[in-house]
Amino acid sequence: MRVIAILLAVLLCVASAPAVPSIVEEAADGVLVVRDDSGGIAWGGWSMGVTHQNSPPYQAKKVLDLTNMPDRIWDRVREVRLSASMMVRDYSGTANPPADGLDEAIEIVVNGNVHTYPTSAGFPVWQDNTLNTPAWHDFIIPREEIVRGQNEIIFRKAEGNGTDDYLYLGIDNIEPRGNSSVTFDGEEWTQEKLTIPGGNGEYMVRLYLLMTDTSFRLTWRPGA
């Protein structure tokens, strides 16, 4: 309960910088979630509710700001998970037939540290002839890459891998908190719209801070 009281005090603080302190709350015992989105209740659909990234210059930036987190909480953080509401799609059958499957790569840049993943790495995948929505996917991020301040996280396609695999990053079309921006050409960043059709709000990207050991052991005995 003491942790919750401290966190509530953090939420009342407002920074003068363009990015404001992100919402920090308990997700489970020993686990904090850092977010700006409302959980997807205001997801804007496949036009204004996602990015449509198929080439490296189109980059989505999310800032998760931990500036006001107290020492007593920050020092307890043991592990970090980055979570994104996302989906990938192979467009080669339409854009560049014959279809070649998910054979490209994306990059996630965490405070300047580049992490590269093939688009076939087990992400939520678009399925034809069904109802598709972005889904949350977790990435293990080294604890030392996260700072008690503004954490800049960029999602983009990797260079030299082709342009028929698409990355869709979810957008929660709530009132913007100033913690999301985009560049369509790799040079100029804007917060006026977060995807080409014009959607605004916040990218659905979160951090989970693990303060305790969340591992467990399961014993299975045949016939028991």
Contacts of 168 (CB under 8 A, 6+ apart): 46, 50, 51, 52, 53, 86, 87, 88, 89, 126, 134
Q: Which residue has the tokens 């260079």?
A: 159
The stretch 165-175 carries a mean pLDDT of: 94
Residues 122-149: tens digit of each pLDDT: 999 999 889 999 999 999 999 999 999 9
pLDDT of 213 > 90? The answer is no
What's the rounded Cα separation, in Å, for the pair 196 and 89?
Answer: 18
- pLDDT for the residue numbered 42: 83
Percent of the chain with pLDDT over 70: 88
Q: Where are the domains of the chain?
A: 2-210
Report pLDDT for 4: 42
pLDDT value for 220: 76
Task: Give the integer Cα–Cα distance in Å for 202 and 130.
Answer: 26
Token pair 């954490």: residue: 151
pLDDT of residue 192 exceeding 90: yes
pLDDT in tens, 58-100: 999 999 999 999 999 999 999 999 999 999 999 998 888 888 9
- The token duo for 54 is 């198929």
Mean pLDDT of 211-216: 70
